[in-house]
Amino acid sequence: MLKHQGQERTYQHNLKLAVLLSTTAGLVNIAGFYSFTIYTTNVTGHVAHFAKELSEGNFYFAKIIALWMLLFFLGAFFSNLISKAITQKSPNLAYTIPIFIEIILLLCVGYIGEHYDYSIDRDHFLAGCLLFAMGMQNAIVSVVSGFVVRTTHLTGLFTDLGIELSQLFFSSKNERNELNKKIVLHGSIVLMFILGGIIGGILHHFIGYKVFILAASVLVVILIYDNMNNVMRFFQNK
């Protein structure tokens, strides 16, 4: 799902990646809100909140929100920087390392949230970790899919879906096949993001911060799937 790039990449690769990672993002978004009362998969709302706090003279909270936005940006920045640096030496690991870092961050949020004191500063720190992780994920998916798939926010997807559905009324038979693929892809991301949110909300009531460990496990499955040949060789050599 991650290792295939360029002409090797197919529609099915993008669809699988979109389904799994949009589910993860939806789960993290709702679990993050229940845990810290902050949405942690995009910055659109934070921009409005930042402007509101500045206009009201609440500079302390404005600085925290600005830091969250910066962390999302830095997640995307370092994700692509790491990928490009590794691509030259080991193309197969180029997108494995950023996903591995995301897994570590989610596990840390789950562990710290479960075992350490409840305080405003701790919540701000953990929310920032999630925003950094989601910035990494969004960058990875965007670059790998050729900027076809984004999994951490839905505003652009609803716009794309509206445009694509309207184009069905004016498209030829040949064009309709390609349009249907785009509609299925974008519709799948929306539905799985919502489903991930429902699952995250329900599970948070039962297992609390451990829900972030579940999100990390989905990413582990993706890494195992992508490196299945290496895993099989490892067990055969045992």
CA distance linking residue 60 with residue 131, whole number of Å: 19
Q: Is the pLDDT reported for residue 234 higher than 50?
A: no
Give the angle subtended at the CA of 10 by the CAs of 212 and 98, to the nearest 5°. Answer: 35
**Domain coordinates of the chain in residue numbers?**
10-236
CA atoms within 13 A on the CB side of 236: 6
Up-side HSE of residue 197: CA atoms within 13 Å toward CB? 17
pLDDT of 229 > 60? The answer is no
Model pLDDT, residue 181: 94
38-49 tens-digit pLDDT? 999 999 999 999
Separation between Cα atoms, residue 121 and residue 123, nearest integer Å: 5
CA distance 196 to 193: 5
pLDDT in tens, 140-167: 999 888 888 888 889 989 999 999 999 9
User: Residue 231: CA atoms inside 13 Å, Cβ hemisphere, count?
Assistant: 9
Mean pLDDT over all residues of the chain? 90
Interatomic CA distance for residues 62 and 32, integer angstroms: 19
Give the pLDDT mean for 201-224. 94
Burial of 207 per CB tally in 10 Å (0-12, 13-18, 19+): middle
pTM of the model: 0.91
Q: Are 29 and 159 in contact (CB under 8 A)?
A: no
> When comparing pLDDT for 42 and 91, which is higher?
42
> Please, what is the Cα angle at 203 between 197 and 204, to 5 degrees?
85
Decide which of 51 and 94 is more confident.
Answer: 51
Q: Which of 206, 181, 236, 185 is nearest to 21 (CA)?
A: 185
- The domain 10-236 is placed in CATH, from the list 1.20.1250, 3.40.120, 1.10.1760, 3.40.1000, at 1.20.1250
Which percentage of the chain shows pLDDT scores above 70? Answer: 95
Percent with pLDDT over 90 in the chain:
70
